[in-house]
Chain A
Amino acid sequence: MRVLSLGRWLRAGRVPPRGRVRLNSGHRHSGHRPQAPPQGPAQVPPRKVSVEVLDHLEHLALVDFRDSEGVERLQKAIQFADQLHEVNTDGVEPMDSVLEDRCLYLREDDVTEGNCTKELLENARETVEEYFVAPPGNIPLLKLEEQNTYLQGSK
């Protein structure tokens, strides 16, 4: 099957003439063929994120970046997300859910299930009687200067 006729479409930026178009089999078909792909979104230069923000993120999320790859991943993600700013959203309301036109189902405030303490405690590693056991709270995570992590090394 000849693909030569489609070749000119596949070159970026070229829009084929409207109406009847030639298909690869050589027969003339009337129909709508997908046109050449549009130009990709403009490349925004990557933005560096400060160490303070990275540290703040680690505290909020309670996961660490571990190495430079982790930080690069974040920077690439931000660069990718910056493309959103090209879209004009004036006067557009944010959308939380596709079912926003419907009433959310709320059931009656009656207790229908429970008494499953034993099953729930089975999955926890440390329990005492009917309590989950946690280490002492109200102790904040070590500050950046006191840590021995990648971010401390990169400061």
Chain B
Amino acid sequence: MRIAIGPSGSRAPQRSAPAPPAANGLPPSWPPCQWRRAVLRQDGGARPPRRRKGRGLSAGVRWRRRRRAGRTMLRASLRQVSAALKEGRVTPTELCQRCLALIKSTKFLNAYITVTEETALKQAEESEERYKRGQPLGILDGIPIAVKDNFNTAGIETTCASNMLKGYISPYNATVVQKLLDQGAVLLGKTNLDEFAMGSGSTDGVFGPVRNPWSYSKQYKEKSIPKSHSEDKEPDWVISGGSSGGSAAAVSSFTCFAALGSDTGGSTRNPAAHCGVVGLKPTYGLISRHGLIPLVNSMDVPGILTRCVDDAAVLLGSLAGHDPKDSTTIQDDFKPFELPNLTDVSKLSIGIPKEYHAPGLSSEILAFWSKAADLFKNAGAKVVEVSLPHTRYSIVCYHVLCTAEVASNMARFDGLEYGHRSDVKDSTESMYAATRREGFNDVVRGRILSGNYFLLKQNYEKYFVKAQKVRRLIASDFGKVFRSGVDILLTPTTLSDAAPYTEFIQEDNRTRSAQDDILTQAANMAGLPAINVPTALSERGLPVGLQFIGRSFQEKQLLTVAKWFEKQVQFPVIQLEEVKRHDSGVFQQQKSASFS
């Protein structure tokens, strides 16, 4: 008579059985894997199951193990899952199906604008064929990836979360998307963002705001004060940060293993900090911007969002390199690298810029920042306080340069060759004006008008050229600090943990961006690489991250230090409960994700 007993529960016995012994009744020296299939003897003891001779595991056991692997695989890192695919423990199609099912059940997060179900499954099947032949294209073959909706993707709607590009099907792939597809990655869909990547909360797109998956985590719910005892009360959800909020939410909620974002003023690192994932902003000029719908040409870079630093290095290795279609990419050879396991940090010099103790920085984050500095100090690194004197003007400078470049970049949207077109037919100019009035939201129009103001003949020297001069001062501040022997700068990423949505929308987009980008956009001004590493949970149970800024094109050093730090802090995994209920009618302007 067989009864399966063990920590994971018991199956119904085939015949009536004596009452199981106390606890699990097994000798304490047995390993846990043996407990599950122990066989009870008549005398109340137990013996381990006899090994089947011959073929090893039965088909049923193999199937169950693959199902279990499929469930836990979603929480694994990119490298772990790639190894599992290679060994055949899970197939690309199963993985893709699991991710798509999870996307469906987490639809309330509104992380995705377009989910490309059919294309993804087709790519997964092709990948499976390659694995069967033993010829995978690389480490990314078969891995589900999501891409922010301001990257052009051939045959897939690219909207930038704007009415201006609703229904626009790109005729080509952005270089970074093409590189991912060439290596066999499975594109699950396009993620939600602020309209044209302008914003710091992912709340201003036409498809509605993105919800932070941590709003539904056990850690947040335990710490939040219940508003009422009613079961129906919607939890006070928090924003995911922006503007790549959809990508960060997608990675954080296990629907994909990596996602592409874009970073102009912190748009990758800010949502990474709020959603508890790793957000890497590479050096300007390392990764091609061809196909990325531009916001600020001199500061934009494609950003990488992953669950751990090793994965970010893998993705960087696949994407970096010169692109003839983007003349702002450097021509140096880029060699993909494997991150070493740093054990000795005594030769490292960490800089703590004192100006980053900005007004409004929460005491919690200040404490985490201090503890991180101590961590490096106690491990033997040299921790010095440094000064970047023009830090408090960097947000003003960014504001002027960003609006000026936006005014120029948004001029291409006239309705003639692509995108929304108004029905006004009186004249070309009136058609353009009407199209832009209908297509852009307040944020975009506000920035275009401000930018045009700063570019007026009478204001050009006073504002635009002045801002360019201040930019040089900011970049040279960083240059001075790095020349003085500092290797890496350690700063907070955000002023506080994620705010509740209802509180966030009290202020307008420009004010929020000015507040939230203050710690991140200086790295964009100077073109330096920066990474957010999730550090700890705040008192409210929400993630808090710290930022490392490195020297130009020294991503290997930056990522090595970030990996060491990540290992030290051991950031907890999000415990997402299954939330079956969809959000119903609270935000009417939300459009549900469309499935192609």
Contact = CB atoms under 8 A, between A and B. Distances in A.
A76 interface: yes
Nearest to A23: B370
A70 B446 contact: yes
Interface string B35-73: 000000000000000000000000000000000000000
A19 B30 CA distance: 56
Contacts of A33: 352, 370, 373, 385
Given A6-B366, A35-B357, A76 B510 contact: yes
B449 A63 contact: yes
B452 A61 contact: yes
Contact of A98 (B425, B467, B527): B527
Contact of B374 (A12, A31, A89): A31
A55 B374 CA distance: 56
A53 B458 CA distance: 11
A29 B376 CA distance: 12
Given A63-B440, A84-B400, A123 B168 contact: yes
Contacts, number: 235
Interface in A58-85: 58, 60-66, 69-70, 73-74, 76-78, 80-81, 83-85
Contacts of A34: 352, 354, 356-357, 366, 369-370, 385
B169 interface: yes
Nearest to B356: A34
A120 B171 contact: yes
B469 interface: yes
B171 A63 contact: no
Interface in A64-116: 64-66, 69-70, 73-74, 76-78, 80-81, 83-87, 89, 92-99, 102, 104-107, 116
B415 A125 contact: yes
A105 B162 CA distance: 33
Contacts of B471: 94-95
A3 interface: yes
B110 to A, nearest CB: 26
Interface stretch (B123-131, B191-199, B328-336): B328-336
A17 interface: no
Interface in A6-24: 6, 10, 12, 23-24
B538 interface: no
B569 interface: no
Contacts of A135: 424-428, 430-431
Given A40-B392, A125-B421, A139-B427, A84 B327 contact: no
Given A136-B427, A141-B429, A141-B433, A77 B399 contact: yes
B153 to A, nearest CB: 14
A153 interface: no
Interface in B387-402: 390, 392-393, 396-397, 399-400
B342 interface: no
Nearest to A29: B374
A140 interface: yes
B79 interface: no
Contacts of A122: 169, 171
B432 interface: yes
Nearest to B330: A102
B171 A61 contact: no
Given A64-B433, A89-B473, A119-B171, A83 B393 contact: yes
Contacts of B403: 77
A57 interface: yes
B367 A1 contact: yes
A32 B384 contact: yes
B432 A123 contact: no
Interface string B462-478: 11011111111101000
A96 B298 contact: yes
B568 to A, nearest CB: 16
A7 to B, nearest CB: 9
A41 interface: yes
Of the listed residues A69, A78, A81, A85, the one surrounded by the most CB atoms of chain B closer than 10 A to its CB is: A81
B481 interface: no
B180 interface: no
Interface of A: 1, 3, 6, 10, 12, 23-24, 29-38, 40-41, 49, 53, 56-58, 60-66, 69-70, 73-74, 76-78, 80-81, 83-87, 89, 92-99, 102, 104-107, 116, 119-120, 122-126, 132, 134-137, 139-142
5 contacts: A31-B374, A31-B377, A63-B440, A84-B466, A94-B465
